[in-house]
Chain A
């Protein structure tokens, strides 16, 4: 049985005439220990999908089933790394992580919490910045704190919503490796939402494109048959990589073109011309 299963999910915002269906008929199943990436254009409903899985939102129709039980509200079993870090700016790095540790493991001694927090901060290499406030950190460092915070709750599954979207290419690369490293250690189930096809191919076992919203739905999946650990430079010459990459990009481009074609058909400009104003005032 699948670890996480999405069954016929529909999500509509608003009611009545103002209703917009953002997601329609989403079906997805993820096995335990799998790393799945969902790739989509901006505005295609990726964040909505993530929030449905982590429990911040409820689907209008359909069911999210996690470990055999329907998802109701958030849970410590599903750690979330948000797109914009979402660190609390008045807490230091340690305090931000401590807050999560304390919630996930209630009624322990203070020293235990401190040790746990220190462990996860060390894991993302931020021990020197442990007493700094988020605003004193660079974007990459902040995202690493967010990673440490999510991991410190020992979730069964990690959900990442464009975690590296706001970072520069170099930092991105390092952080991808770091996340893969951590994932590789205890093979937790992971779901990565991204708009970067290369990132998906580099990190995931499977890539599923999300067709752009409204009425976004998942496209056909692409399996990535490249052995781990993957090497970025070697991967470029891997025929498998090239093939998958081209296939995915082609697919996404096709949807894009399709959308465009539809859009140009839909918008018909009214046949209007300005009145003869000048002569009117003469």
Chain B
């Protein structure tokens, strides 16, 4: 039963609702309907999607394979064409058509990425063990310890990306929420900032990145440290903060007049008025803004990491694309799914926090 409660919480978190009835064994007619709608239908749609993907990938594979054989025939003659056909049929990696990978290939790549992670982790642990004594000595002598410089695994990249996105998100939060409150409270500030918001809101992440790059590069001119992380998280923050800024200022400036009257009748001071009346009543809108900010941050992160050469999923995708290895395409698709799933979970996380802190309960979309 306890397990079922946790399971129920999980299903609720990811937006499937809780099926207490399902897990406690008491099934009513409505539960069957819910089961059909919330479990069977999604599973069926996923299977359908995988099937279509598989067929599509197969068709593309055939197009590519035929093209190769044709090319060999035209350029080198019948013998070369036969050899190419045999090679492709044998599954030799040197001559595989390079196209949209099938679901099975993507799954295999996912497994291999996990294996890779296990290998790298083991390598890291071994390195740490080997250098432990030496590093201690170096630190005692006042030198920098030797750090592991091997390539990061896929899982490491995910965590790097999450770190960047959260750093950017908190930057956005720290700038946009206070600024939004001030703008919402003061009509003159609002008109001062309005043009600024309208102009900068639609600017693309790439341009933000370049702008931040120009500034940070100069600011950190003496530093030998890698500035790519700083640049990418600042760009992510600047890119994604607009939704929160607009929503916060709107929430603050459109507080229900009744509440303002209450504040006046109770003679609350300005500080009290903001913190006890204005902010609580605009929390739902602020959180809507923050939710959009987080998802925008996650979305632009990939592009910005790619440009900034900052380690993370974006760079992973770019490197795999440049790499052009046999399983590169499959790895890119793996990264795509991981990005999508993490984005979804981040959204749910915000929703859970929102429902926890604000008085209006919001349903998942």
Given contacts A56-B261, A86-B261, A90-B280, contact A100 B359 (CB under 8 A): no
Cross-chain contact A74 with B265 (CB below 8 angstroms):
yes
Contact with B along A94-106 (1 / 0, CB 8 A): 0000011001100
Cross-chain contact B268 with A103 (CB below 8 angstroms):
yes
User: Which residues of B, 257-305, contact A by the 8 Å Cβ criterion?
Assistant: 258-259, 261-262, 264-268, 272, 276-277, 280-281, 283
Q: How far is the CB of B278 from chain A (nearest CB, A)?
A: 11
Contact with B along A68-96 (1 / 0, CB 8 A): 00000111100110101010111100000
Cross-chain contact B267 with A76 (CB below 8 angstroms):
yes
**The one of A56, A75, A79, A99 that contacts B276, using a Cβ cutoff of 8 Å:** A99
User: Which residues of B, 335-365, contact A by the 8 Å Cβ criterion?
Assistant: 358-360
Report if A217 contacts B (CB, 8 A).
no
User: Which residues of A, 122-153, contact B by the 8 Å Cβ criterion?
Assistant: 133, 153
**The one of B264, B277, B281 that contacts A74, using a Cβ cutoff of 8 Å:** B264
**Chain A residue, CB-CB nearest to B283:** A90
Q: Which residues on A sit within 8 Å (CB–CB) of B360?
A: 89
Q: Which residues on B sit within 8 Å (CB–CB) of A153?
A: 266
Q: Which residues on B sit within 8 Å (CB–CB) of A80?
A: 265
**Chain A residue, CB-CB nearest to B277:** A88
Contact with A along B184-217 (1 / 0, CB 8 A): 0000000000000000000000000000000000
Cross-chain contact A90 with B359 (CB below 8 angstroms):
yes
Q: How far is the CB of A47 from chain B (nearest CB, A)?
A: 11
Q: Which residues on A sit within 8 Å (CB–CB) of B262?
A: 82, 86, 88
**The one of B266, B272, B277, B283 that contacts A100, using a Cβ cutoff of 8 Å:** B266
Q: Which residues on B sit within 8 Å (CB–CB) of A54?
A: 265
Q: Which residues on A sit within 8 Å (CB–CB) of B276?
A: 88, 99
Cross-chain contact A84 with B266 (CB below 8 angstroms):
no
Contact with A along B245-260 (1 / 0, CB 8 A): 0000000000000110
Cross-chain contact A56 with B265 (CB below 8 angstroms):
yes
Q: How far is the CB of B273 from chain A (nearest CB, A)?
A: 11
Q: Which residues on A sit within 8 Å (CB–CB) of B280?
A: 88, 90-91
Q: Which residues on A sit within 8 Å (CB–CB) of B261?
A: 56, 82, 86
**Chain B residue, CB-CB nearest to A159:** B265
Cross-chain contact B359 with A133 (CB below 8 angstroms):
yes
Given contacts A99-B276, A133-B359, contact A86 B266 (CB under 8 A): no
Q: How far is the CB of B263 from chain A (nearest CB, A)?
A: 9
**Chain B residue, CB-CB nearest to A87:** B262
Given contacts A99-B276, A133-B359, contact A88 B259 (CB under 8 A): yes
Q: How far is the CB of B254 from chain A (nearest CB, A)?
A: 15
Q: How far is the CB of A135 from chain B (nearest CB, A)?
A: 8
Q: Which residues on A sit within 8 Å (CB–CB) of B277?
A: 88
- A62–B266 CA distance with the chains assembled, in angstroms: 25
- A114–B276 CA distance with the chains assembled, in angstroms: 18
- A82–B267 CA distance with the chains assembled, in angstroms: 15
User: Which residues of B, 77-99, contact A by the 8 Å Cβ criterion?
Assistant: none
Q: How far is the CB of A85 from chain B (nearest CB, A)?
A: 8
Q: Which residues on A sit within 8 Å (CB–CB) of B281?
A: 88-90
Q: Which residues on B sit within 8 Å (CB–CB) of A84?
A: 258
**The one of B258, B358, B359 that contacts A86, using a Cβ cutoff of 8 Å:** B258
Cross-chain contact A75 with B267 (CB below 8 angstroms):
yes
- A82–B265 CA distance with the chains assembled, in angstroms: 10
Listed residue (A55, A73, A103) with the most chain B CB atoms within 10 angstroms of its CB: A103
**Chain B residue, CB-CB nearest to A103:** B266
- A88–B276 CA distance with the chains assembled, in angstroms: 9
- A99–B272 CA distance with the chains assembled, in angstroms: 10
Q: Which residues on B sit within 8 Å (CB–CB) of A88?
A: 259, 262, 276-277, 280-281
- A88–B256 CA distance with the chains assembled, in angstroms: 10
- A76–B268 CA distance with the chains assembled, in angstroms: 11
Listed residue (A75, A76, A86, A104) with the most chain B CB atoms within 10 angstroms of its CB: A86
Cross-chain contact B258 with A74 (CB below 8 angstroms):
no
Given contacts A86-B258, A90-B281, contact A99 B359 (CB under 8 A): no
Q: Which residues on B sit within 8 Å (CB–CB) of A82?
A: 258, 261-262
Contact with B along A106-122 (1 / 0, CB 8 A): 00000000000000000
Cross-chain contact B359 with A103 (CB below 8 angstroms):
no
- A91–B263 CA distance with the chains assembled, in angstroms: 14
- A74–B258 CA distance with the chains assembled, in angstroms: 14
Q: How far is the CB of A275 from chain B (nearest CB, A)?
A: 47
Q: How far is the CB of A254 from chain B (nearest CB, A)?
A: 34
- A259–B276 CA distance with the chains assembled, in angstroms: 45
Contact with A along B307-338 (1 / 0, CB 8 A): 00000000000000000000000000000000
- A104–B266 CA distance with the chains assembled, in angstroms: 8
Q: Which residues on A sit within 8 Å (CB–CB) of B358?
A: 90
Q: How far is the CB of B92 from chain A (nearest CB, A)?
A: 66
**Chain A residue, CB-CB nearest to B257:** A86
- A91–B275 CA distance with the chains assembled, in angstroms: 13
Q: How far is the CB of A8 from chain B (nearest CB, A)?
A: 25
What are 30 of the A-B contact pairs (CB < 8 Å)?
A54-B265, A55-B264, A56-B261, A73-B264, A74-B267, A76-B266, A76-B267, A82-B261, A82-B262, A86-B258, A86-B259, A86-B262, A88-B262, A88-B277, A88-B280, A88-B281, A89-B281, A89-B360, A90-B280, A90-B283, A90-B359, A91-B280, A99-B266, A99-B276, A103-B266, A103-B267, A103-B268, A103-B272, A104-B266, A153-B266
A residues contacting B by CB (< 8 A) are 54-56, 73-76, 79-80, 82, 84, 86, 88-91, 99-100, 103-104, 133, 153
Q: Assuming A55-B264, A89-B360, A90-B281, what are 6 further A-B pairs, CB within 8 angstroms?
A: A82-B261, A88-B259, A88-B276, A88-B281, A90-B359, A103-B272
B residues contacting A by CB (< 8 A) are 258-259, 261-262, 264-268, 272, 276-277, 280-281, 283, 358-360
Closest 7 CB pairs of A and B: A90-B359, A86-B258, A90-B280, A103-B266, A80-B265, A86-B262, A74-B264
